[in-house]
Amino acid sequence: MELGRTHPGASRSSLPISTLLPLTLLILTSLLIGLTQVGSANSSERATPPSLFQQPSDPTPGQGLSAAVAAVPANSAALDAALDEQKKLTEQQVRAQQELQRTDEEIQDATLRREASTELLARRSEQVTKAAETQQKLRGALRIIGVEWFITGFGRLSALNPTVSSAERERLDRARVLSESAASSTISKERFAREQLKQLQEERSDLQRQLAEIEDSLGQLSSKSQGLTASLELLGEELAQNEQRVAEARMSATINGTDLSTGALDAYWRAAVSLQDTNPSCAIPWWAIAGIGRTESKHGTYRGASLGRDGLVSPPIFGPELDGSNSFAIVRDSDGGALDGTATTDRAVGPMQFLPSSWKAVARDATGDGVADPQNLYDAALTAGTYLCRKGPGLNQEGPLRAAYLSYNRSQRYVDIVMSQAFDYQRSVPLA
């Protein structure tokens, strides 16, 4: 826990509080001595928090899981539900996209048919106009012939006139024959023109009906396309919202076979990777930090607290006030209540249970937001790792790691519990 106790959390140890109360008085004196030593540490080492090393593909700490942690199998009811919803929404999106593509293709086809029908209708209308003109001309010709027959009679009455010569009768007979032939031809042409006009008019009517149907179909297809486009926009928004739910659920999902959330594992993993970059000789593995996190606060879930996607625990975690009650020693206030919320005495803060004084001595900002927050597991994990590395190098070996744990809390029982939990994580989690 704290330096104010023997490790960075004097208010509560990794052991159950009821077990640790008798141990606290024995530990506090040596812890306070250790705190004085830590406070005199090199100021330049504390002034500039090390930048958190991350892979190029990894999101910023607190904004998403690192690729290595995201690949570790994890599960939760919330994650399963969010993934099921994502699958459902994705399938709906694919179907809507396919339907929209088919609809757009139908619109293109209908548009081409409309253009062709419009052009053909224009030609038919022109043909109808010409055919009607032709028929009218032929009907006019027939009227002329009829009038001519009525007026002339073509010699029928002349045959009764004894004064008409035979030559005149022959001429009149020839004229009558020619007129009858012309009339018969004109009648045939007029009948053909009338039938052709009727056929063209019927074809024009069919084209007008087809064009109206195409226009109606285009209207329906256009409405369908607009509806599908709106549905896709809505599905896109729902998918984005659900992706946020998936990310949040994944952060709180449980690593298979452990009590570790993926968010907590990400904080420990990133802390170890960062320290490998800034202090390679320390060689502290992620599971060594996880052992402390489990002991101190159950990875930020002590007393119903929850770990947010950004690494913050809510509500904040505080140990009991070190005011001399319940067998605890008195630890005078060192921060004016800025970190622990009380200005009378100190108490351990955050998921790694640092006393305010020891937090200020080694605090690290892992998230890059400019604030080293003991209630943020990313910051707290890196700070705890930094503190343990002061007892390095070689913290990937049991002996040096035990010594480092003992500097965190001068209780062999505490060290044994943390070591056991750390090795359990090493064996259970497929993360090098």
- Same-domain check for residues 170 and 222: yes
User: Hey, which of 43-57, 71-85, 324-338 has the most confident mean pLDDT?
Assistant: 71-85
* 2 domain-assigned: no
- Same-domain check for residues 243 and 346: no
- What pLDDT band is residue 341 in, cutting at 50, 70 and 90? confident
Residue at 78: amino acid letter: A
- Same-domain check for residues 150 and 204: yes
Instruction: Provide the strand spans (E) within 59-172.
Output: 74-75
At 276-294, the pLDDT tens digits run 999 999 999 999 999 999 9
For residue 187, give the CATH number of its domain: 1.10.287
* 1 domain-assigned: no
Predicted TM-score (pTM) of the model is 0.62
Q: What pLDDT does residue 5 have?
A: 45
- Same-domain check for residues 224 and 314: no
- Same-domain check for residues 104 and 226: yes
- Same-domain check for residues 49 and 86: no
* 355 domain-assigned: yes
* 344 domain-assigned: yes
Nearest one of 424, 426, 421 to 295, comparing CA atoms: 421
322 pLDDT higher than 60: yes
Rounded Cα–Cα distance for residues 229 and 100 (Å): 7
At 234-251, the pLDDT tens digits run 999 999 999 989 988 888
Total number of domains in the chain: 2
* 7 domain-assigned: no
DSSP 8-state assignment for residue 127: H
Q: Which of 228, 251, 274 is the last residue of a domain?
A: 251
Give the C-alpha distances (Å, rounded to integers) separating 308 from 49, 250, 279, 354.
22, 11, 28, 20
* 5 domain-assigned: no
Q: What pLDDT does residue 251 have?
A: 81
- Same-domain check for residues 282 and 247: no
Q: What percent of the chain has pLDDT over 90?
A: 63
Q: Which of 217, 251, 285 is the last residue of a domain?
A: 251
Contacts of 197 (CB under 8 A, 6+ apart): 128, 131, 132, 134, 135
Rounded Cα–Cα distance for residues 221 and 241 (Å): 30
Omega within 30 of 0 (cis) for the link into 393: yes
Average pLDDT, the chain: 84
- Same-domain check for residues 212 and 113: yes
Per the structure block, which two tokens stand in for 81? Answer: 């539900």
- Same-domain check for residues 164 and 178: yes
Please state which of the ranges 32-36, 108-112, 222-226, 228-232 shows the lowest mean pLDDT: 32-36
Contact indicator for 49, 395 with CB cutoff of 8 Å: no
Per the structure block, which two tokens stand in for 19? Answer: 């077990």
Q: Which of 184, 219, 251 is the last residue of a domain?
A: 251
Per the structure block, which two tokens stand in for 194? Answer: 């009338």
Range 317-325 average pLDDT: 88
Q: What pLDDT does residue 21 have?
A: 31
Cα 426–chain centre separation: 33
**Domain around 178:** 82-251
At 20-45, the pLDDT tens digits run 333 333 333 333 333 333 333 333 33
User: Hey, which of 43-57, 149-163, 279-293, 311-325 has the most confident mean pLDDT?
Assistant: 279-293
Contact indicator for 232, 103 with CB cutoff of 8 Å: no
- Same-domain check for residues 228 and 283: no
Contact indicator for 103, 267 with CB cutoff of 8 Å: no
- Same-domain check for residues 103 and 233: yes
156 pLDDT higher than 70: no
Rounded Cα–Cα distance for residues 20 and 419 (Å): 17
91 pLDDT higher than 50: yes
* 11 domain-assigned: no
Per the structure block, which two tokens stand in for 106? Answer: 């139908």
Per the structure block, which two tokens stand in for 167? Answer: 């030559």
- Same-domain check for residues 374 and 414: yes
169 pLDDT higher than 70: no
- What pLDDT band is residue 138 in, cutting at 50, 70 and 90? confident
* 115 domain-assigned: yes
Q: How deeply is 52 buried, as exposed, middle or buried, from its count of CB atoms within 10 A (0-12, 13-18, 19+)?
A: buried
At 363-411, the pLDDT tens digits run 999 999 999 999 999 999 999 999 999 998 999 999 999 999 999 999 9
Residue at 256: amino acid letter: N
Residue at 50: amino acid letter: P
Q: What pLDDT does residue 166 have?
A: 74
Nearest one of 55, 76, 54, 74 to 428, comparing CA atoms: 74
